[in-house]
């Protein structure tokens, strides 16, 4: 791997992506929703909501992971449930961001005929993939980590400082700093595969939307009480997503053969 070629390609990709407002909006909208809606929802929690039977069941299930949760008053218990449920949305930002960047980077260059000059350089397929992948993963991850930092800050200073341990626990940190990068790679790999089959960015994003469904399923599963994130579950999901990333990487390396691109994407 010749990293000076990878770095040059990454800089080129970054300059092009910086001008794409729709890509940034696709990451900013989920981030703003994740920051604003939980705060408004927790603020609106009253005694009736705290005593709702479905809510009590969710609190009881979460108390298996956090026994100290039972020491909080009912409204704070519900706040912890809501905040941790919306915390799963921080897996949505990297997968959506990487998916959108991948579809634009491939389909956009196919449509604009800008990929052929890149292939005229002495780039190897793995260097081409690396140069495009670093930006597609790094940008959404920076947004995710910045967003989660703001999430914790706003929760502590706007709601209640007693909520901080439930957002900075081992499970939450593993999810945001370990699982999320692999989820971003999953979105990237899926987006690249879809982009090799279509010639329209919107079509690629719509088909690639199926990549986002597992993350949405995690959010819904928590809301319904089917899933409670603990350390072992997050580590298991990380291992599973890692294996999927390896499979997608192998497929993309095969698809990004320069001769295949020049003959079939022409």
The rounded distance, in Å, linking the Cα atoms of 172 and 167 is: 6
Is the pLDDT reported for residue 55 higher than 80?
no
Candidate from 130-134, 159-163, 180-184 with smallest mean pLDDT: 130-134
CA-based max dimension of the chain: 67
Is the pLDDT reported for residue 184 higher than 80?
yes
Would the pTM count as exceeding 0.75? Answer: yes
- Total domains in the chain come to 1
Q: How far is CA 262 from the centre of its chain?
A: 32
Reported as a pLDDT band with limits 50, 70 and 90, residue 181 is very high
Q: Which structural domain range is residue 240 located in?
A: 3-264
Q: Are 183 and 215 in contact (CB under 8 A)?
A: yes
Long-range pairs, 8-12, Cβ under 8 A, ≥24: 8/131, 9/118, 9/123, 9/127, 9/128, 9/130, 9/131, 9/132, 10/131, 10/134, 10/135, 12/131
> H helices of the chain, where?
3-17, 21-44, 47-50, 53-65, 74-87, 92-103, 109-112, 115-119, 125-154, 170-174, 180-195, 201-208, 213-223, 231-255, 258-264
Reported as a pLDDT band with limits 50, 70 and 90, residue 42 is confident
């Amino acid at each position: 791997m010749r990293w000076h070629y990878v770095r040059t390609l990454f800089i080129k990709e970054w300059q092009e992506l910086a001008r794409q407002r729709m890509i940034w909006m696709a990451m900013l909208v989920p981030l703003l929703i994740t920051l604003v809606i939980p705060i408004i929802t927790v603020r609106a929690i009253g005694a009736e909501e705290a005593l709702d039977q479905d809510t009590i069941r969710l609190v009881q299930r979460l108390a298996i992971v956090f026994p100290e949760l039972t020491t909080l008053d009912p409204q704070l218990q519900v706040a912890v449930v809501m905040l941790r449920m919306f915390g799963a949305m921080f897996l949505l930002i990297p997968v959506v961001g990487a998916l959108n960047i991948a579809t634009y980077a491939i389909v956009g260059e196919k449509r604009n005929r800008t990929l052929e000059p890149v292939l005229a350089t002495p780039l190897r397929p793995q260097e081409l993939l690396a140069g495009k992948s670093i930006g597609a993963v790094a940008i959404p991850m920076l947004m995710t980590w910045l967003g989660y930092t703001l999430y914790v800050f706003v929760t502590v200073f706007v709601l209640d400082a007693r909520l901080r341990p439930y957002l900075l626990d081992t499970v939450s940190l593993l999810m945001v700093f370990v699982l999320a990068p692999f989820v971003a790679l999953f979105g990237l790999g899926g987006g690249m595969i879809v982009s090799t089959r279509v010639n329209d960015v919107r079509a690629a994003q719509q088909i690639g939307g199926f990549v986002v469904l597992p993350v949405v399923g995690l959010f819904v599963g928590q809301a319904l009480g089917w899933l409670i994130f603990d350390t072992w579950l997050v580590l298991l999901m990380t291992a599973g997503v890692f294996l999927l990333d390896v499979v997608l990487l192998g497929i993309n390396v095969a698809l990004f053969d320069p001769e295949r691109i020049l003959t079939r994407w022409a």
